[in-house]
Amino acid sequence: MADITLSTAVRSNLLALQRTTGLIDRTQGRLATGLAISSPVDDAVKFFQGKALSNRAADLSDRKSAIDQGVSTLETALQAADAIESLTEQLKGIIDSARSGSTSQRAEFAKQLREVAKQIEKLVNDATYQGLNLLNSTSSKLSVRFSDKTDSKLDVDGVDFQSSAYFLDSAGAAIGAPAVSTDAVVSGALGFDTTLSAYNFDDAVELASFNARADVAVTRIEKTIGNLQAKAASLANNVAILQVRSDFTQEYVNVLDSGAGKLTVADLNEEGANLLALQTRQQLGIQALAFAGQSEQSILGLFR
């Protein structure tokens, strides 16, 4: 096939029209994707800078999810600690009630003490979040990483609130009594030398002995509650730390995404205006091409 020879004017207008069509296609692509730089071909430097920022933001978003799960783990432990404190306060109330109870009432109070102690232990063992329990062993540990740096993390050690370690003596040392066994909560953890119903309140000496033992028991319970509150305060402080890091990470992710956007995101208002101008230019180019072809059409008139 023979080549078609175009006049200089026609070819010039045709090339300009092709360039305009290419710009229209690029602008429509930017409007469709919202990106001014969508591949290395557009601008390799900006593309890879934006990609690095976006990857960093995605990594930190994953870290934030882990931080939020760490907050939930600690909140589970705190909720359990609050409930354990309420149950422990009940022990003190039962002891105070037993001071003026009859023999049969004190027998019931002893059962209540054992039951409350059992429920404390069950609650401790139930305070698990995603398989981690921070209240039943000092070997438990929550480790939350904040970034890819090895030292950017928070480690929270668990505490042992099992019955053998939970109850403290008047000096604040762990008693080591298995509180959920038959009478250990009375004789071991709380310090009575016999069951509550065995005391004869008609005997002044035994009544005085009971009251003295009750005072010891109340002191032990208060020491136990004080230790519980101290441990809970430490957990709450760690929750505050994680919450601050979570908020910071979210803000940091927003900054990174914004920075990536400044490099690659298209200004839709500008691109819309560009498209309108290019479409106008395209129409003018088509008209100019038609004008350029009129000279050749005039030659055709010679053959008519």
From residue 170, alpha-carbon distances to 64, 174, 217, 221, 222 in Å are 43, 10, 8, 9, 9
Q: Which fold has domain 69-263?
A: f41 fragment of flagellin, N-terminal domain (1.20.1330)
pLDDT digit string (tens) for 211-263? 999 999 999 999 999 999 999 999 999 999 999 999 999 999 999 988 888 88
Across the range 127-152, mean pLDDT stands at: 92
pLDDT digit string (tens) for 5-51? 656 666 776 677 677 776 676 666 666 666 767 777 777 888 888 88
Contact 249, 146 (CB under 8 A): yes
User: What residue ranges do the domains of the chain occupy?
Assistant: 8-34+267-303, 69-263
> Is residue 76's pLDDT more than 80?
yes
Which pLDDT does position 296 carry in this prediction? 59
pTM of the entire predicted model: 0.76
> Is residue 157's pLDDT more than 60?
yes
Which pLDDT does position 277 carry in this prediction? 74
Which pLDDT does position 182 carry in this prediction? 55
Contacts for 239 with CB less than 8 Å, ≥ 6 apart? 71, 74, 75, 78
pLDDT digit string (tens) for 115-124? 898 899 899 9
Across the range 176-202, mean pLDDT stands at: 76
Which pLDDT does position 1 carry in this prediction? 47
Mean model confidence pLDDT for the chain: 83
The percent of residues in the chain predicted with pLDDT above 70, rounded, is 78
Rounded Cα–Cα distance for residues 178 and 162 (Å): 9
Across the range 172-188, mean pLDDT stands at: 70
Rounded Cα–Cα distance for residues 132 and 158 (Å): 9
The percent of residues in the chain predicted with pLDDT above 90, rounded, is 47
Across the range 275-299, mean pLDDT stands at: 67
Which pLDDT does position 143 carry in this prediction? 95
Which of the residue ranges 15-24, 51-60, 184-193 has the most confident prediction, judged by mean pLDDT? 51-60
